[in-house]
């Protein structure tokens, strides 16, 4: 019963953080166009759901791919340069190792298909940003990088030794290692350690600020989840 209640608490906490970041982007960036892809509407065809379209002429856009779990995917766009913030779960499970979610929640094909549809290529895919090492957030990261190489992969360094509660290790180390291996394979710059908090980057004509970059030892993986601010 305790484990079940804790699982519900973890899920609700991650969902709350995701919604909070999402709403912050909507209400603070009045020149941002938001496109949302919801799994129940997505049919791999030419149409997609467009909501909260604040300014279609804006060079800055935020695309959200809503998945079946708390691990939504966000694509930040500025002047035809792109950053992917999380890409959701995949169907590549390691037998005998418990993941954050179970089979049937993989969205790698959906994410990659949409990325290609909006014109993301190896030339304008600037950043892949993993908020934290949970499979429902970065599980498909290796598939994304294998399909479309990014110039830089950003995620806080992860090791199971950082998590004091071993029951929350899940397959975190595996998906983190898979992401790093894929980044090396596509010759992407890998940033896992940071000189300051926050850090600022350029995406097109916009400033991309990443917060909560320092992590040491935690009870839960998403204690060190990074946040992104595009302006």
Domain ranges for the chain, please list them: 2-230
Q: Please report, in tens digits, the pLDDT of each residue of the chain (231 residues total).
A: 565 555 655 555 665 555 555 444 433 443 444 444 444 433 433 334 444 444 566 778 888 887 766 678 999 999 999 999 999 999 988 888 877 887 888 899 999 999 999 999 999 999 999 999 999 999 999 999 999 999 999 999 999 888 888 878 889 999 999 999 999 999 999 999 888 889 999 999 999 999 887 755 444 444 556 777 776
- The counts of H helices and E strands in the chain are 5, 10
Q: Which string of DSSP letters, residue by residue, matches 109-163?
A: HHHHHHHHHTT--TTTEEEEE-SSS-HHHHTTHHHHHHHS--SEEE-----GGGB
Please check whether the domain covering 2-230 is classified as CATH 3.60.15.10: yes
Q: What is the pTM of this model?
A: 0.76
Which of 160, 141, 139 has its CA nearest to residue 93? 139
């Amino acid at each position: 019963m305790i484990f079940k209640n804790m699982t519900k608490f973890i899920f609700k906490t991650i969902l709350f953080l995701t919604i909070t970041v999402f709403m912050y982007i909507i209400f603070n960036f009045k020149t941002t166009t938001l496109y949302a892809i919801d799994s129940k509407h997505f049919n791999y065809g030419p149409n997609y759901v467009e909501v909260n379209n604040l300014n279609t002429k804006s060079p800055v856009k935020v695309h959200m791919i809503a998945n079946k779990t708390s691990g939504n995917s966000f694509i930040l766009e500025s002047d035809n340069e792109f950053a992917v913030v999380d890409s959701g779960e995949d169907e590549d499970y390691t037998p005998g190792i418990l993941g954050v979610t179970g089979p049937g929640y993989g969205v790698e094909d959906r994410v990659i298909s949409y990325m290609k549809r909006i014109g993301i290529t190896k030339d304008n895919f600037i950043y892949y940003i993993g908020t934290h090492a949970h499979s429902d957030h970065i599980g498909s990261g290796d598939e994304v990088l294998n399909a479309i190489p990014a110039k830089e992969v950003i995620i806080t360094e992860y090791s199971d030794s950082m998590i004091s509660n071993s029951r929350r290790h899940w397959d975190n180390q595996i998906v983190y290692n898979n992401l790093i291996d894929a980044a090396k394979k596509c010759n992407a710059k890998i940033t896992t350690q940071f000189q300051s908090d926050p850090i600022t980057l350029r995406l097109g004509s916009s400033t991309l600020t990443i917060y909560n970059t320092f992590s040491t030892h935690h009870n839960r993986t998403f204690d060190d989840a990074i946040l992104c601010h595009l302006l």
